[in-house]
Amino acid sequence: MRLILLGPPGAGKGTQAQRLVAKHDIIQLSTGDMLRAAVAAGTPVGMQAKEIMASGSLVPDEIVIGIISDRLDQPDMKNGFILDGFPRTVPQAEALDELLKKKHIKLDAVVELRVNESALLQRVESRVAEMRARGEEVRIDDTPEVLTKRLAQYRSMTEPLIHYYSERRKLLTVDGMLTIEQVTREINRILAAIDAADARAAAKKAQAKRARVAKAVKKPAKAAKKASKGAKKAATKVAKPAKGKVARRPVKAAKKVTKKRAKR
């Protein structure tokens, strides 16, 4: 299963991605997590991304495309993956299309979690409160000011992807305002339908292939039949020469008769 989860910050992409990972034994690729790890490790990419992320802006396309391209080459990807937070711009989506084409990977679906924007701020606030209560470190971009900027970024840069993937008949929209359980159920229902459609298409393809093979086997048999019919016809032609034409054997027979007559 190869999926993209699309939705604004706070839509629940991370939560649903984790559930899909557990159910389908696939890998979650979150560019946000990867960038945060790079920032924590102080890598050159991390150093470039740190300030940008803190301000709620988007990291340059070539950085995230490079991260994803490297990751898709890892052997653990063969079972499938779920992209969470990538692509986030049309050029990223185009680059991803190219990457997948080059790597001969088929994207199964893009699942959009559609949410009511006014509910997002509240969601993120409660996520922050829960994290604080658990004593976890809170993301520096989870403040109301930065969230407002991230939402604006989503609207202008990422929302066009809804049109991009719907044009390519990949988009499936789920109501992200339902409870976590309901959203999971809905995603699973959609993915099961895709699986069933794929299985039907594969069966149809296999049947068409079998029919082609059967036809190819029949063709030589027909050709052989035709050839033997032709040979028979040719033989009859020799045995019964056409009017005015002399066949070889009758010539030989005529010679014999002449010889016999000469002897007499």
> How far does Cα 47 stand from its chain's mean position?
33
**Residue 45 interacts with ligand AMP (CB under 6 A): yes or no:** no
Cβ at position 58, least distance to ligand AMP in Å: 4
DSSP 8-state symbol, 75:
G
Q: Please list every residue from 94 through 123 that binds ligand AMP, using CB under 6 A.
A: none
Helix, strand, coil % in the chain, rounded to nearest 5: 70, 10, 25
**Residue 16 interacts with ligand AMP (CB under 6 A): yes or no:** no
Q: Which stretch binds ligand AMP (CB under 6 A): 81-89, 113-121, 166-174, 201-209?
A: 81-89
User: Of 65 and 171, which has the nearer Cβ to ligand AMP?
Assistant: 65
Q: Please list every residue from 126 through 165 that binds ligand AMP, using CB under 6 A.
A: 141, 150
**Residue 7 interacts with ligand AMP (CB under 6 A): yes or no:** no
Asked if residues 27 and 76 have their Cβ atoms less than 8 Å apart, the reply is yes
Site string for ligand AMP, 194-233 (x = CB under 6 A): ----------------------------------------
- Burial (CB count <10 Å: 0-12, 13-18, 19+), residue 157: middle
- Furthest-apart CA atoms within the chain: distance in Å: 133
Q: CA–CA separation, 238 vs 197, rounded Å?
A: 62
Is 88 labeled as catalytic in the residue annotation?
Answer: yes
Is 127 labeled as catalytic in the residue annotation?
Answer: yes
**Residue 64 interacts with ligand AMP (CB under 6 A): yes or no:** yes
Asked if residues 107 and 169 have their Cβ atoms less than 8 Å apart, the reply is no
Query: Which one among 5, 11, 58, 124 touches ligand AMP, defined by CB under 6 A?
Result: 58
Asked if residues 81 and 27 have their Cβ atoms less than 8 Å apart, the reply is yes
Which positions are catalytic?
Answer: 13, 88, 127, 139, 150
